[in-house]
Structure 1
């Protein structure tokens, strides 16, 4: 698992921002700190609550100059619809190839449902040096991050 002080794995993936564009982490470091909020699946209850909470608290991140990106294995088209229906004010990264969740070591299975290789609920804050300055990973898909702690970590990463 990635820990504070580790180099954040670089990646390129589709970005759902109303359109579908390409997102490369290393090309976005000028937006740092970057908050990468991994979630298992769009349109599920806890994932919707989590992404809507980030939406509702976006001012906390904007105030410290941080950019928030959700990351899931959903297609960019699904993620754009999820953004639209929930009025999300940040973009979502599509990891349909499951490379990012493997590189960040946040892959999990829902064995009882026969669902494999989805993202654990996790949050990483990446600073301008591409270093992980905050890491939270949960094995409980019903858990949510401490949003105030994430905002404080983003603020610290800015300084």
Structure 2
């Protein structure tokens, strides 16, 4: 698993930002720190609450100099619809090929529901040097991150 002090695995994936365009982590580290908020699935209860909370607190993250990105295995077109329905202004990274959740070692299954290979709810803060300065990973998909702790980590990473 990726831990504090590790180099953040780089990736290029579709970014749902109202349009769909390529997003490469290493090319966006100038706008650091970067908060990567992994979530299991769009349009689900806790995931919707989590992304809505990041949106509600986005000004505070931006004041800390941080850029927030959600990451899930949903298709970019689904993520754009999710953004629209929930009024999200930050981009959502589509990991539909599951390479990012594999690189960050945050893959989980909902075997009882027959759904495999989704992101564990987790948050990583990456500084301008590409170093992970904060990591939080939950094995319980019903638990949300401590948003204040994430924001403080982002402030410290700037």
Q: TM-score, normalised by structure 1?
A: 0.99
The one-character-per-residue Cα deviations of 1:51-106 (angstroms, maximum 9, x if unpaired) are: 00000000111101100000000000000000000000100000000000000000
Quick one: distance in 1 between partners of 2:115 and 2:64?
37
What does 1:8-157 correspond to in 2, within 5 Å? 8-157=8-157
State the distance in 1 between where 2:33 and 2:156 align. Answer: 9
Unpaired runs of at least 5, structure 2? none
Task: Report the aligned-residue RMSD.
Answer: 0.4
Determine the C-alpha separation between the residues in 1 that align with 2:38 and 2:29.
18
Number of residue-to-residue matches in the alignment = 158
Gaps of 5+ in 1: none
- The CA distance in 2 between the partners of 1:35 and 1:21, in whole Å, is 19
Structure 2: distance between partners of 1:69 and 1:88: 10
Counterparts of 2:83 and 2:143, CA distance in 1? 21
Q: CA deviation at 1:149?
A: 0.2
**For 2:3 and 2:60, how far apart are their aligned partners in 1?**
24
What SS class does the counterpart of residue 71 from structure 1 fall into? Answer: strand
